[in-house]
Amino acid sequence: MDQTVGISIVGLPADFDRWDDLLALIRRAFAYMDGIIDPPSSAHLLTAGSLGEKAKRETVFLAVENGRIVGCVFALERTRDFYVGKLAVEPRLQGQGIGTRLMRAVEGLARERGKDAIELQTRIELAANHAAFARLGFRETGRTAHQGYDRPTSITMRKVLS
């Protein structure tokens, strides 16, 4: 049974003003990474204002349940693809398909705009994320290191759209 029936996936409304709510959601969703990934998540550097600026450059999809934001994803349009970032789902609702629905929204947008793929990065230490993205059709295409690190810290994953 689909547990996400009462949850809608919507584009960011033009008059959106709930940046503090969105920031709080991202911080709750990313909190489990604290003490696991190195360097720490860039989610710690976000502010309500920086999210608003980010949304001016990227497409944002929200998962909404009874007026409450329970998920989000940001997608940056590039020449041949979309780069996906800040996929976040309310911790109590994770594992119910909301993230998959958000990613499908990005895929639909990419196809609509004639892109051939979507790409993302996930941290080396987050094996469950690697597996989840692989189930969605993503494949590893490379590894990169954050500035100042002499070892890979992130895995680049790409999904070719058919």
- Is 39 among the domain residues? yes
- Is 61 among the domain residues? yes
pTM for the complete prediction?
Answer: 0.94
162/153 Cα distance (integer angstroms): 30
* Residue 162 pLDDT: 80
- Is 48 among the domain residues? yes
What share of residues in the chain are helix, strand, coil (percent, to 5)?
35, 30, 35
Q: State percent of the chain over pLDDT 90.
A: 95
- Give 4-33 pLDDT, tens digit per residue: 568 999 999 989 999 999 999 999 999 999
* Residue 6 pLDDT: 87
Encode burial over 38-75: b for 16+ CB neighbours within 10 A, e otherwise.
Answer: eeebebeebeeeebeebbeebbbbbbebeeebbbbbbb
The answer to whether residue 2 scores a pLDDT higher than 50 is no
- Is 14 among the domain residues? yes
Please name the amino acid found at residue 51.
L
- Give 73-130 pLDDT, tens digit per residue: 999 999 999 999 999 999 999 999 999 999 999 999 999 999 999 999 999 999 999 9
- Is 1 among the domain residues? no
- Is 107 among the domain residues? yes
CATH number, domain containing residue 34: 3.40.630.30
36/28 Cα distance (integer angstroms): 15
Per the listing, tokens 């996930």 go with: 122
CB 61 within 8 A of CB 85: no
- Is 2 among the domain residues? no
* Residue 4 pLDDT: 59
117/111 Cα distance (integer angstroms): 8
Tell me the CA distances in angstroms from 58 to 54, 83, 130, 135, one per residue in order. 6, 9, 23, 25
**Residue 142 structural domain:** 7-160
- Is 27 among the domain residues? yes
The total number of structural domains that make up the chain: 1
